[in-house]
Amino acid sequence: MSKAQITIFIIIGLIILGGATAYFFLQEKSIPEARPPSDVESSVTTFMQTCLQNTLSEGIKSVSEHGGYITPVPVPYVTLGTQDVNAILYTRGNASANIAKDNIERELSIYLLSKLDSCTNNFADFTKQGLTIETIPAQTNLAVTIYPDNVAVQADYPMTITQTNSKYGLKTFKTSVPAKLGKYVDIANALIEEQNANPYQVCISCLSKSALTNGYLFNLIVGGNNTYIVQLIPTEINEKPFYYAMVMAERGEA
C-alpha cells in the first residue's frame, strides 16, 4: 500500500471521527437541562402531600376500627358495644378466613378519591394568592400500597397552575404515612390461621405468645353466635389499634 493511500485512509478516519464527535456534542446540547421546580410548584406539591397524608391517616384509623373496611359492607360483622367499631367477620365456612391486604389498599384508595375535593377545598387558599388551578378529574387515579412500616400513596392528579403570565403543570404526587398497618394485618392473619387449627376454643396462648413476640397488647371481646372481636393494641406511639372478628366453631360443625 502506497503512502498516498495510507494518507487518504487517515484523512477519511479523521473526518468520520470528527463527524461522530460533532454529532454527540450536538445531541448533548439538544437535551434540555432539568428545570428546578418553581416556588409555586413546590408550594402546591407540599400542599397536596399534606392533604394526602392527613386523609390517609383518617382512612387508616377507619379501616383499623372496621377490620379492614372503611365502612361495614353487607356481609356479617360484629359490633363492639356502643363504640364506633364494626369489625368484619372473616369466615370460611365455620372457620375464619384471612384478611386480604389488597382489599384494604383498595378501600383506602377509594376513600382518598372520595375525599380529594374536600381535602383540597378546591385550592381556595391558592386562589386567594392569585393562582388558578385547573384539574382533570377524569384522569385522576390513586393507588395505596401497604408496607410493614408505612402506608404509601401515589396520586395521579393532573393539574394546570396559572399565575399571571406563567403556567405550570403537575401530575403525580407521592407520600406516605408511618403506620404499621401492614404489620398488624399480618399478625391478625397469623392468629386467624392458628385459630383455624383449633376452632373449638379461643386460643389465648396464641394471642399471648404473639403479643410477647411482636410487642403489642390485646383485648378480647366475646360476642354472640360464637364470635369474638380481637383488638390488637400497638405499643408504638401514634399507632392505631387494629380490630378484627373471628368465629369459633361449635362441636361437630368445623
Residues 6+ apart with CB under 8 A from 77: 66, 67, 86, 87, 88, 89, 245
State the pLDDT at residue 1.
55
> For residue 162, is pLDDT > 90?
yes
More confident: 44 or 222? 44
Q: What is the pLDDT of residues 79-123, one digit of tens each?
A: 555 455 556 555 555 555 678 899 899 999 999 999 999 999 999
Average pLDDT value over all residues in the chain: 79
Task: Note whether 151 and 177 are within 8 A (CB).
Answer: yes
State the pLDDT at residue 186.
92
State the pLDDT at residue 89.
59
The whole-model pTM stands at 0.77
Residues 112, 32: Cα–Cα separation, whole Å: 36
Split at pLDDT 50, 70, 90, the class of 76 is low
> For residue 248, is pLDDT > 70?
no
State the pLDDT at residue 191.
87
The mean per-residue pLDDT over the stretch 10-37 comes to: 53
**What percent of the chain has pLDDT above 90?**
42
The mean per-residue pLDDT over the stretch 50-67 comes to: 91
H, E, C per residue of the chain: CCHHHHHHHHHHHHHHHHHHHHHHHHHHHHCCCCCCCCHHHHHHHHHHHHHHHHHHHHHHHHHHHCCCCCCCCCCCEEECCCCCCEEEECEECCEECCCCHHHHHHHHHHHHHHHHHHHHHHHHHHHHCCEEEEECHHHCEEEEEECCCCEEEEEEEEEEEEECCEEEEEEEEEEEECCCHHHHHHHHHHHHHHHHHCCCCCCHHHHHHHHHHHCEEEEEEECCCCEEEEEEEECCCCCCCEEEEEECCCCCCC
